[in-house]
Structure formats: C-alpha cells, structure tokens
Structure 1
C-alpha cells in the first residue's frame, strides 16, 4: 500500500448545526464551505469544508449526534501556512478562543500549535508552518 496523503475526515454534527458550522468554519476560520446545495437538496448526507486543495472535512448532520469525549475523539491536526504569532492574531481577530498552546510532534516534526474547539466539541490543532 502506498498512501500519499489524507483525503478527508468525516465528522458528525447536530442536525440543527449547519448554520453554526458555516459560521465557525467559513466566517471565523476563513475556510470554504462546499456542496451545501447538494446536502440541502438531499443529494448528499453531508457538506464539506475545504482544508487544502486535496483535503476536506465532511460535516454530516446526525439526529443522534453526541458530542465527542476524551474517550472517543482527541483532535484533528491541521498544518497552517502562517507564522505562529500571525495565526494567534488571526484567531483573536475572528473571536476564536485558544484552548492551549503546545509544540507537538507531528508528521512534519515539532512546531508550535494552538488548539481550538469547534461549536460541536471537536478539538482542532492548528500547527504553524513557521515559528
């Protein structure tokens, strides 16, 4: 097997959480929301948040949604092409609270990162590209 990269992750959200998701991921984090029209027409059970040219997160509304806990989800780590200070300032300007800061080891080595929580309880690690 020759895996080259992650294509997508699928996260469940509450059925009434679509607007909340769009506000957080598009308006606060500045990511593109895709296929919402296909979700709303019933063609797809999810809509997507574009993370990078070849990577998305599918957000799937679910009537039986249960917020993640430490026992069943830790975090989704995303590399961000930004200086660490600029990343923190951008989040502050968008009104996104930073839960903690670390320098975790990841696929590309150790780099500074901030952790934020989305409106549904999912933790996102935003790992800066540069110090």
Structure 2
C-alpha cells in the first residue's frame, strides 16, 4: 500500500460547536465551512472545514466530547502559504491568541517556523510556513 495524502481527519466537538467552529476556522483563519446545510438538516452527523480543495477536517458534534488534555502532542498541523510574519499578523488582526512560536519544528515536509493556537474546543492548531527548498 502506498499512501498519497491525508484525505480528511475527524475531530469531535461539543454538540453546540457549529458557531464556534464558524468563528474560529471560518472567520479567524479564513477556511470555508462545507456541508453545514446537510448537517443542520440531519443528513450527516458532521460538518466540514475545507482546508484545501483536496483536504477536509470533519468536525463531529457529540455529547461525549471531552476537551483534549492540553499536551503539545495532540494537535493538527497545517502548512499554510504565508510566511511566519504574515501568519502572526493575520492571527493578531483576528484576535487569535498565539500560545507559542517555534523557529524550527520538524514535520512531514521538513523544518520551518510555526505558531501554535487553540481552537475553541481545546485542540492545538500548528500553522507552519512552507519549508524552503
């Protein structure tokens, strides 16, 4: 088997998490929410954050939601097109608190600067600039 890429990841959120997801992932980070109409109509148990044309984040509202324990190892890492200064400026303008900034964390694509924020459900989100070269 030869994996090509991740198609989607699924995170559980509180049952009333749609508006918080819209405010954080949609308004603050600028991603589109998809499948909201189907979710609200009861056709699917989740809605999506469209990260790229080929990648989704399923957000699955559940009564059994338990906030992550806050360790740095339970997080979602995204490579974004902008450089670290532009990422930082966008987050500051959107009022998103930056937990930390690392200049050289390693990931699947190599080492590049990243900032870490928390979504409204307690998940850490790493926003990493593209690796040079």
For the Cα contact (< 8 Å) 2:110–2:131, is it kept in 1? no
Superposed CA RMSD in Å reads 1.4
After TM superposition, give the deviation of residue 69 of structure 1 in Å: 1.2
Runs of 4+ off more than 4 Å: none
After TM superposition, give the deviation of residue 53 of structure 1 in Å: 1.2
- The aligned residue for residue 109 of structure 2 is 108
Question: 5+ residue gaps in structure 2?
Answer: none
TM-score by length of structure 2 reads 0.93
Distance 1:130 1:111 in 2: 5
Aligned residue pairs: how many? Answer: 130
- The aligned residue for residue 128 of structure 1 is 129
Q: Kindly indicate whether residue 83 of structure 2 is the aligned counterpart of residue 79 of structure 1.
A: no
Bigger fraction of residues in strand = 1
Question: 5+ residue gaps in structure 1?
Answer: none
Matches within 5 A, 1:53-68: 53-68=53-68
